[in-house]
Amino acid sequence: MKYALVTGGGRGIGRETCLKLSDMGYYVIINYNNSEQAALEVKENIVSKGGRASVIKFDVCDNLEVTKALEFWKNEHPDEYIEILVNNAGIRDDNLMIWMEPESWHRVINVSLNGMFYVTRLLIKDMLVNRFGRIVNVVSLSGIKGLPGQTNYSAAKGGVIAATKALAQEVAKKGVTVNAVAPGFIDTDMTKNMDKETLRQQIPVGRFGTPGEVAALIAFLASKDSSYITGEVISINGGLYT
């Protein structure tokens, strides 16, 4: 059995990624923190189509919680390992820096940047021992271009991008690739309060992307066909920033 873990797998890009990985034959482990019902619905969707899936609860910000949950999984599966990791969990808490509270800064960075570290460090050893692994970090246009009102989010995603490039060099010789996917404006819960009509006018293709389009790119990077791609940040933004 081949296993894949998707953090924040209950909604949006995470949800569609879980479905894509299941289609590729993976047993999908769907992580959630608060969205239990959404995660269970993804699991039921996969199982109803003949796939295999389970849910796992932990807050990626909490190192102890992450460690306990993943060590428990390892103890339950001593002869198996998670070969695909999609670090998708992330939050936005937008504000101009002049009005941004320290809590907003730390919370956004904790989820995207620290969360990526806490989860990845526990799974990377088994990938190296087995000489195969795929790590895909979901970042953002904001982490490349920077967007006003998102200094915290831009800093978090920019940090993940730098970590992606560094880690890729550490593990490449062992058959483990590390890449990042940088979506632009995607039609998810995270963008539901944005002025979509105004933003569409800035996007060359004239629309927001779909979670399924991002998931298809993630699935390719998780496949064996992507074995010569590592340390890359691939944008999927409708031509908004090229």
Residues with active-site annotation: 153
Strands 3-6, 27-32: parallel, antiparallel or unpaired by DSSP?
parallel
Q: How far is CA 130 from CA 32, 87, 175, in A?
A: 27, 20, 9
Closest among 161, 168, 19 to 90, alpha carbons compared: 161
Closest among 158, 88, 81 to 127, alpha carbons compared: 81
CB 218 within 8 A of CB 181: yes
Q: How far apart are CA 91 and CA 57, in angstroms?
A: 17
Query: What amino acid is encoded at 65 in this protein?
Result: E
CA angle 82, 122, 155 (to 5 degrees): 105
